[in-house]
Amino acid sequence: MDNDAVFYRELPKVELHAHLNGSVSAQTIEKLISRKPHLNIEHSMTAIGKGQRRTLDECFEVFRVIHKLVDTEEDILMVATDVIKEFAADGVKYLELRSTPREERDTGLTKRSYIETVIKAIQKCKEEGVDIDVRFLVAIDRRNGTEVALETVNLAEEFMLSSDGLVVGIDLSGDPTVGHGKDLLPALQKAKNSGLKLSLHLSEIPSQLDESDLLLSLPPDRIGHGTFLHPEVGGSQSLVDKVVQKKIPIELCLTSNVKGNTVPCYAKHHFKYWYELGHPTVLCTDDKGVFCTDLSQEYQLAASTFGLSHEAVWKLSQQAIDCIFGPETVKQQLKEKWNDLHPQLFK
Ligand SMILES: CNc1ncnc2c1ncn2[C@@H]1O[C@H](COP(=O)(O)O)[C@@H](O)[C@H]1O
Ligand SMILES: [Zn+2]
């Protein structure tokens, strides 16, 4: 590893946008494939390699393949444990993992047991002393409509109270071409009223202006992607104004957007737009397994593409602390950790 790569690995980082089943590493996929040879799944079907690009549609096909491989309690526990340890090894000190409790027919687990299994993995890593603070956002897949969304929110509310602070919020994700946010608004509103934080995928594709406007009225506590919010790409100034006025942090996933073909190249990524506005932005991986990346690499890519100094990169990773859904005490602990690590990185 060259010196620069070492800097990015050692840089303490906060990861706020990571879908569990999109984050499964090649090593873990190998273990899953050997457990289920009859599925005839090859690793090339679960990841998009260097230089490759797919349509967003094709990305969602990849998730369907991974879901076939991850379909028991044992699998979910292994996947979650491996993913947490991999983030920790990459220098991530605080992680918000998100995952969609699936239907019982897909996993043999109720949605409740699905959530419990992810929590078990988080607790296991904590007991083993893995150096990372992990929280959980329960995800709503937008294609499943109003009722499933409400059911998911009800469960998340329960776990928010019973999980010792591990469940902190709701994620809205899934294929953006399917369904409409208006059907999910009541569930999201209910979640917000109960004290759950909201991170919503917003304007990941063009022509979702109405939906984004509607969902911004909640408002969400963070935005995922927001690729097409600004006027230069067909969004609107009024959407930008709302995001800016409410200071809603945006989770930005460079490689995901380039490989999923929603932005033409790294240099044209909307990181530049929001960063230059001085708006709170947080670099994230989205699906480190599927897109073959890690958070260190995303920071390094942002720096090399947009000419950021190590000091600027440090600030970026430090400012992400203010965007976490964990409590104020955790923010303070993280800030102290960053201060302690600073001299070591800038010696
Ligand atoms: C690439 N951009 C994206 N846009 C929207 N949703 C995405 C996504 N990447 C992942 N997901 C969501 O995360 C699920 C996989 O993890 P879990 O089974 O929940 O752990 C996908 O099925 C999709 O709903
Ligand atoms: Zn995402």
Q: What percent of the chain clears pLDDT 90, i.e. is strictly above it?
A: 97
| Ligand number nearest to the C-alpha of 252 | 2
What is the CA(239)–ligand 2 centre distance, in A? 20
Query: What's residue 2's pLDDT?
Result: 84
DSSP 286: B
Query: What's residue 208's pLDDT?
Result: 94
Q: Which of 15, 204, 211, 298 is catalytic?
A: 204
What is the CA(169)–ligand 2 centre distance, in A? 15
Task: From the CA of 175, give the closest atom in ligand 1.
Answer: 5
Q: Is the ipTM of this complex over 0.95?
A: yes
Listing DSSP states for 23-39 in one string gives S--HHHHHHHHHH-GGG
Query: Which of 57, 98, 103, 173 is the pocket-test mutation for ligand 1 (most atoms within 8 Å of CB)?
Result: 173
- Asked if residue 100 lies in contact with residue 117, where contact means CB atoms within 8 angstroms, the answer is no
Query: Which of 63, 140, 261 is the pocket-test mutation for ligand 1 (most atoms within 8 Å of CB)?
Result: 63
Query: What's residue 347's pLDDT?
Result: 87
- Asked if residue 282 lies in contact with residue 320, where contact means CB atoms within 8 angstroms, the answer is yes
Confidence band (pLDDT; 50, 70, 90) for 3? confident
Which backbone phi and psi does 93 adopt, to 5 degrees? -100, -20
Residue 212 has pLDDT above 90, yes or no: yes
Is 147 an annotated catalytic residue? Answer: no
Helices (H), 163-294: 185-194, 209-216, 237-245, 254-259, 271-277
Q: What percent of the chain clears pLDDT 70, i.e. is strictly above it?
A: 100
What is the CA(347)–ligand 2 centre distance, in A? 36
Order across the sheet with 250-252: list the strands: 13-19, 92-99, 133-141, 167-173, 197-202, 222-225, 250-252, 281-283
pLDDT of 312-322, one tens digit each? 999 999 999 99
pLDDT of 214-263, one tens digit each? 999 999 999 999 999 999 999 999 999 999 999 999 999 999 999 999 99
Distance CA 24, CA 47 (A): 9
Burial class (CB in 10 A: 0-12, 13-18, 19+), 85: middle
Does pTM surpass 0.90?
A: yes
Alpha-carbon torsion, ordered 27, 31, 34, 36, to 10 deg? -120
pLDDT of 122-162, one tens digit each? 999 999 999 999 999 999 999 999 999 999 999 999 999 99
Residue 207 has pLDDT above 90, yes or no: no
* DSSP-derived 3-state class of residue 84: helix
Query: What's residue 1's pLDDT?
Result: 78
Helix (H) or strand (E) holding 168: strand 167-173
pLDDT of 77-93, one tens digit each? 999 999 999 999 999 99
Query: What's residue 149's pLDDT?
Result: 98
- The binding-site residues of ligand 1, defined as CB within 6 angstroms of any ligand atom, are 19-22, 59, 63, 99-100, 139, 141, 173-174, 201, 204, 256, 260, 286-287
Query: What's residue 182's pLDDT?
Result: 97
Distance CA 51, CA 258 (A): 10
